[in-house]
Copies of this chain bind each other. A is one copy, B any other.
């Protein structure tokens, strides 16, 4: 039963890294170039370039969106605002799964199918933890060797700066730019272990969970609640002696999903098996996503969900700003620890503690 999947093979991993490193100096990398020499494009230049589908200008506009420089922020907002009327036409797919579930191979091979049909595909990511590793550009190129050099694909690693809220905002704005640049499909990838799934779920049309067959150990990493967000679950690495286990896992997940109420979309989440590595059943996965889009466009949920996502992000942003303003107030910073200590020693109720802090805050205006 100790079947080692070829993808998990060290030699294979090493080979992939080696190949990518060989290629690295020749890879066109406008993101990196942008950091070295800031281009002097005007807002008009950006908008025109994006609407023309110019990939280099799109990449530089995304760099502007991700910049923490105040001036860039304002410029970026104007570019986005002008692109807004041309946005909204792509199919947005969220992809999550624990490390090792095979997300990269899945994206690489499903992505190649999509661009093979003449469609333009953008692959974005949300990984607030990537700040530590500082830019996983090489990583992303390594992970998606063929896709990363395809003319109809735009791959962008997770913005690395700041809070989840900040990262999510940048990714959502990048979706707008990609759509204005004529991209038909947008993937937003995330790792199913943190809080970023809610963020991704709130910006995509279809949320796909990639799982592995297994009796539990592999699933321990996935956060509670994620399964219930999924519009579809794919059991990956269903090949070789794994097939039987994958089918069993499929049945388990199907039974579990029956215990949940029907989602608002009216779409009963499906469970499929596939082998991204061996390119098995990826067509069925894609068909499921297409079916979902047709189904929800027909019943009105597709448009309704996008509107409620816009509202969600507005209210979410307001709340983040309110909290940021509160917790960064010098008087609050000064008092919070003492009040928390009182709370921990049961000297004060949570409600009195909150009221006391709020009184301090109000007096500071």
* A binding-site residues for B, Cβ under 8 Å: 77, 80-81, 84-85, 87-88, 169, 172-173, 176, 216, 219-225, 227-228, 252-253, 255-256, 258-263, 307, 310-319, 321-323, 326, 339-340, 343-344, 346-355, 357-358, 365
Contacts and interface: CB of A to CB of B under 8 A. Distances in A.
Contact of A228 (B88, B216, B228, B348): B228
Contacts of A176: 349
Contact of A350 (B258, B263, B314, B344): B314
A314 B354 contact: yes
A254 B262 CA distance: 20
B223 A349 contact: no
Contacts of A353: 314, 317
Contacts of A326: 318, 322
Nearest to A322: B322
Contacts of A262: 220
Nearest to A211: B259
Contacts of A261: 219-224
A48 B252 CA distance: 56
Given A346-B85, A347-B84, A227 B260 contact: yes
A314 B227 CA distance: 30
Contacts of A88: 346
21 contacts: A77-B351, A169-B351, A220-B262, A223-B261, A224-B228, A227-B259, A227-B260, A252-B259, A256-B256, A256-B259, A310-B344, A310-B346, A311-B340, A313-B351, A314-B339, A314-B343, A314-B353, A317-B351, A318-B358, A322-B323, A322-B358
Q: Which 5 A-B pairs have the closest CB atoms?
A: A317-B354, A313-B350, A314-B350, A256-B256, A322-B322
Contacts of A173: 349, 351
A146 B318 CA distance: 50
Given A255-B255, A313-B351, 13 more contacts: A77-B352, A84-B347, A88-B346, A172-B350, A216-B258, A224-B228, A225-B225, A256-B256, A310-B346, A312-B350, A321-B354, A322-B322, A322-B326
B81 A352 contact: yes
A62 to B, nearest CB: 15
A255 B252 contact: yes
Contacts of A315: 354
Contacts of A346: 84-85, 87-88, 310
Contact of A260 (B224, B317, B349): B224
A228 to B, nearest CB: 5
Contact of A323 (B221, B222, B256, B319): B319
Contacts of A253: 259
A312 B354 CA distance: 11
A328 B243 CA distance: 58
